[in-house]
Structure 1
Amino acid sequence: MWLRIAWPDSVFGLFSYGADVVLVDLAARLGAAGLAAFRVMSSAVSVVWVIIFGLASAIAILVGQRLGARDRDGHEAFVRAGAVLMLVGSSVVSGMLALFPGLYFALFTDDPEVLALVSGTVALLPAMTLIMVTELVYAAQLRALGDTRGIMYVSVLATLCGTVPAAWFFVEVLDRGLSGIYLGLLLGWIIRSSAVWIRFRRTVQPAR
C-alpha cells in the first residue's frame, strides 16, 4: 500500500523539481546577470510557495479525516477555509512583492542589471499565485484520497508538454529573456491546474 502511494510521489518530485535543472540552463544562457536574477526571482516564488504548499498539506490531512468519516459537510468546510487562507495569504505576499520589488530583492543584490531583470518579471507572480492556489486546492483533495498516481500523471504532462518546451520557446525563439522562463512556468501551472481539476471532477465528485 505504501509503495503504491509513494512511488508516484517520487516520480512527481523528479519531474517537478527536475525541470528546474533545465530552467537553470536556460537562465545561464542569459548571462551572469540573467542567472543571478533567476535565482533571486526563484526565492520570491519559494516564499509564496511555502504558504500555499503548507496550507495544502493541512487541507489534505484534514480532508482525509473527513472523507474517512464520510463527513461531506466537514470536508467542504475544511476545503473552503483552507482555500480562503491560501488565497489571501499568498495573494498578499505576491502582491507586495510585485508592487514593491525593490524592498525584497535588494536583500539579495544591489546590481542594477539584476534588479531591473527581476523587477520586470515579478509582475507575473500574482497570476502564478492564483493558478498555484487553484491547483493545490484540488490536488490536496486528491492526495487525501491517496491518488498520488493522478498527481504524478499531471506533473509529467505539465512538465513535458508545458513548462520546459514553453520556457525554451519563449527564451530561445521569442527572446523574452527571464520573463520567458516564468511565462513557461505560468503555462505549466495552467496545464497542471486544468488537468488536476479534470481529474478531481472524474474521481472525487462522482464518489460523493
Structure 2
Amino acid sequence: MTTPHNGMMPDISPQPLYPHNRVKRHLSELFRLALPVVIARIGMLIMSVVDTIIVGNYDSSSLAYLNIAHAPFISLMITGFGLLIGIMIMTSHAIGRNNPKAAGQVWRACFPYGVILGFGLAVLAWQSKWIFILSGQPGAIIEHSTELAHILALGMPAALIYISCSFFMEGLQRPLPGMMLMVAANVVNLILDYGLVYGVWGMPELGAAGAAWTSTIIRWLMAGTMLAYVLLMRDHVLFGLRDGFANWWHHSRDIRSMGYAAGASQGMETAAFSTMQLFAGRISIMAAASYGITMTILSLMFMFALGLASATSVRVGIAYGRRDRADMALAGWIGLLTTMGVMFCLSLPLYFFPAWVAALFSEDAVVIAGTSGLLLLMPIIFPTDGGQNAAISALRGTGDKWAPTVLHMFSYICVMIPAGYYLAFVRDLGVAGLFWGIVIASLVAVSGLAMRFRIVSGRELPSYP
C-alpha cells in the first residue's frame, strides 16, 4: 500500500493477513514508529544526562543539589505530559476512522489547555522549597536546590507546549519532526551547558545554575519551533489546524477525561520516584548523588521503553478506531513482549561493566562504588519497568482510563514507597534498599497491567454512535 497524497501513513484499514504476516506487520510498524520516538524521548533525557555528567564532574555537591531540584519539577512535568496524553490517543483513533478533520480538532481543542496547564504547573514548581523542608533535607540542599527549582520552573510552559504538538504528530504517525528537533536541541544543549557550568567561551561560570538555565532556554526554543511546524505543515488545511480554538474547553472534554487518568498515573509514579530521591538525600549527599546517577541511567534507558510504548499505544489506538479487536489485542501483546525483550538486552552492558559506566558520571570513588552496586539490579528493573509502561500504554490505546491508573498507583505508591523506606532505613540497606523497592513495585505493576489488558482485549468493542 502506498502513502496517500494527504501525507497520512499507511496501514489504517483492516488487512486480511495470515497470523504470521500480521505479527510481522505489527513488528515492522512498531519499530518504524518507535525509532524516531525513541530518539526524541532519549534526546529529552540526554539533556539531563549531559547535565549530570558536566555538573557531576564540576562538583559532587552541586550534582546533589541539581538532582534534588529536578525531583519536584520532573514530577510535575510528567504529570502534565500525562494530562495531555489524550492528544496522541484520540488523534490515533481519528486516523483509524480515516477522519483527518477530527484529528486536527483534537489538537486545536487541547493546545490552549496545554498552555494554561503549563503556567499552572510552573507556579507549583516555583513553590518546591516547602517539599525540601518537609522531607527533612539538609539546609545546604534546601537553599541551593530552591534556587535551581526557580530556574527550572520558568521552562515548564514551554515543555507542555512542545509535548502537545509532539503528541499530535505522533498520533498522526509522523514522529520524525520531533526527532529531528530533539537532535538539534541536544547539540545546542551540550555547547551551552558546558559553557555556562564552567564559564568558558566568554560565558559566566554558574555551576549547577548554568545547567538549569540551559534546560529552560532549550525548552522554549523547542516549543516555538514545534508550534511553528504544526501550523505551517504542508497539509494543515486537511486537518483544519488554523481553524481557531473556539469552544476548545467543550471539544477537549473526552481528551481531558482520558488525560486525568493518565496524568494521575504518571504524576503519582513520578512523585513516588521523587520521594525515593528525597529518601536518598536523607541518607547522605553521596547517596543522593549515586541515586541520581543511577536514576538518570534508568531514565535514559527507559526512553527506549517509552518510545516503544508510545508506538504501541498508537498501533492499538488505530486498531481500536477501526474496531478491529483481534488486531488491537495482537498490537498490544507484541508491544509488551517486544519492549520487555529490548529492555533486558539494554540492561546487560550495565550489569557487566557497572564501574566503567559509573565513572562516566563522577570522579568521586565513593559515588562510583555506590552507583556500581546499584547497576547490578538493572536486568530485573529494566524489563519489568519498561513492560509496565508498554502495558499501560496499550490499555490507554483501548480507551481504558481509571483501572490501569489504580493498578499503577497501587504499585508505586502503596508498594514501592513503603518497601523502599523499610529496606533502606529499617533493614539498613541504604540506597540499595530503595532500588529493591523499585524491583518489587515494577514486578507487581507489569503483572497486574498485563492481566488487565488480557481482560480488556477480550471484550467486544463498542460501535460508533
TM-score (norm 1): 0.90
Matched, 1:97 2:350: yes
Contact 2:337 2:387 in 1 (8 A): no
Choose which of 281, 294, 307 in structure 2 pairs with 1:54. 307
Match of residue 12 from structure 1: 265
Deviation at 1:40, TM superposition (A): 0.5
The 1-side partners of 2:259 and 2:457 are apart by 20
Contact 1:59 1:140 in 2 (8 A): yes
The 2-side partners of 1:152 and 1:87 are apart by 20
Match of residue 32 from structure 1: 285
Matched, 1:193 2:458: no
Higher mean alpha-carbon deviation, 112-121 vs 71-80, is at 71-80
Choose which of 449, 456, 463 in structure 2 pairs with 1:203. 456
Deviation at 1:195, TM superposition (A): 2.0
5+ long unaligned stretches in structure 2: 1-253
- Structure 1 residue identity aligned to 2:409: V
Q: Which one has a bigger Cα radius of gyration?
A: 2
- Structure 1 residue identity aligned to 2:439: L
Match of residue 386 from structure 2: 133
**Residues 142, 83 of structure 1: CA spacing in aligned structure 2 closer, same or farther, 3 A cutoff?**
closer
Match of residue 403 from structure 2: 150
Higher mean alpha-carbon deviation, 193-202 vs 77-86, is at 77-86
Match of residue 167 from structure 1: 420
Match of residue 117 from structure 1: 370
1:206 is paired with a residue of what secondary structure?
A: coil
The 1-side partners of 2:373 and 2:265 are apart by 31
**Residues 167, 107 of structure 1: CA spacing in aligned structure 2 closer, same or farther, 3 A cutoff?**
same
* Bigger helix share: 1
Deviation at 1:129, TM superposition (A): 1.5
The 2-side partners of 1:149 and 1:126 are apart by 30
- Structure 1 residue identity aligned to 2:402: R
What's the RMSD between the two structures over aligned residues?
1.9
Contact 1:44 1:97 in 2 (8 A): no
**Residues 126, 207 of structure 1: CA spacing in aligned structure 2 closer, same or farther, 3 A cutoff?**
farther
Higher mean alpha-carbon deviation, 32-41 vs 149-158, is at 149-158
The 2-side partners of 1:188 and 1:130 are apart by 13
2:360 is paired with a residue of what secondary structure?
A: coil
Deviation at 1:191, TM superposition (A): 1.8
Deviation at 1:84, TM superposition (A): 5.3
- Structure 1 residue identity aligned to 2:363: D
The 2-side partners of 1:41 and 1:203 are apart by 35
- Structure 2 residue identity aligned to 1:149: W
**Residues 74, 91 of structure 1: CA spacing in aligned structure 2 closer, same or farther, 3 A cutoff?**
same
Matched, 1:21 2:274: yes
Contact 2:265 2:409 in 1 (8 A): yes
Deviation at 1:30, TM superposition (A): 2.0
- Sequence identity of aligned pairs in percent? 23
Aligned residues: 208
Deviation at 1:15, TM superposition (A): 0.7
Match of residue 45 from structure 1: 298
Deviation at 1:76, TM superposition (A): 4.8
Contact 1:11 1:152 in 2 (8 A): yes
- Structure 2 residue identity aligned to 1:35: A
Deviation at 1:127, TM superposition (A): 0.5
Dislocated runs of 4+, deviation >3 Å: 70-85
The 1-side partners of 2:333 and 2:447 are apart by 19
Match of residue 81 from structure 2: none
**Residues 182, 207 of structure 1: CA spacing in aligned structure 2 closer, same or farther, 3 A cutoff?**
farther
Contact 1:91 1:130 in 2 (8 A): yes
Contact 2:411 2:442 in 1 (8 A): yes
TM-score (norm 2): 0.42
Contact 1:52 1:133 in 2 (8 A): yes
1:207 is paired with a residue of what secondary structure?
A: coil
The 2-side partners of 1:80 and 1:9 are apart by 20
Deviation at 1:197, TM superposition (A): 2.2
Deviation at 1:14, TM superposition (A): 2.2
- Structure 2 residue identity aligned to 1:123: L
**Residues 170, 132 of structure 1: CA spacing in aligned structure 2 closer, same or farther, 3 A cutoff?**
same
Choose which of 243, 249, 256 in structure 2 pairs with 1:3. 256
Deviation at 1:198, TM superposition (A): 2.9
